[in-house]
Amino acid sequence: MAQRANPALTALVDQARAATREAAGAFLAAAAGADRVEYVPVAGGRAVMLARLAQRIDAGATATCRHVRAGRPVPLTWLAWAPGLLRCVRCTAAAAAAMTEADVRCHGCEGGDRSTVVLTRVLLPAVVVARPLHASGPLTAVFGLCARCREAPDPPSTVDGGS
């Protein structure tokens, strides 16, 4: 049965789309500046890092910077070398400018350096939840992985198969 569109929901979906477009633009701009670009599936060590990020958020171990209004979709970035904060565009630029050589490491095993680690970006589009009305993201996760950690098996599913 067709329902009348909820204007607040429609507005939030429009904002989520615009925010995801903005994040995709930044994602492509970052890729244009890389030495080498490879598009790969989110599996193995990449999936492990995203699962770890989800666990941090669930555990309340990741805050957002003070420019982010809860419930609104704006581009956020998670930097694995400063994992306590999800940052707005401005705070991400400041953190990227302050990045040191020690930050370029494998965030799977905490080893490696610029010669062995591949900096990886994953863009997750904005999410809108209808009830209660809420939106967040898009979220770009940035982390380093060495060859061994890239090949890690997929993380076990946390979905409980029971009732």
Residues engaged in binding Zn ion (CB under 5 A) = 65, 67, 88, 91, 106, 108-109, 146, 149
Evaluate whether 120 touches 104 at the Cβ level (below 8 Å): no
Question: Which residues lie below 8 Å from residue 96, measured CB to CB, with a gap of 6+?
Answer: 79
Q: Which is nearer to Zn ion, 70 or 159 (CB)?
A: 70
* Shortest reach from residue 68's CB to Zn ion, in Å: 6
Q: Which is nearer to Zn ion, 12 or 85 (CB)?
A: 85
* Shortest reach from residue 152's CB to Zn ion, in Å: 8
Q: Which is nearer to Zn ion, 118 or 128 (CB)?
A: 118
How far is residue 133's CA from residue 5's CA, in Å, rounded to a whole number? Answer: 13
* Shortest reach from residue 48's CB to Zn ion, in Å: 10
* Shortest reach from residue 155's CB to Zn ion, in Å: 15
Question: Which residues lie below 8 Å from residue 151, measured CB to CB, with a gap of 6+?
Answer: 44, 45
Q: Which is nearer to Zn ion, 80 or 91 (CB)?
A: 91
Q: What angle do CA 52, 57, 60 make, to 5 degrees?
A: 125
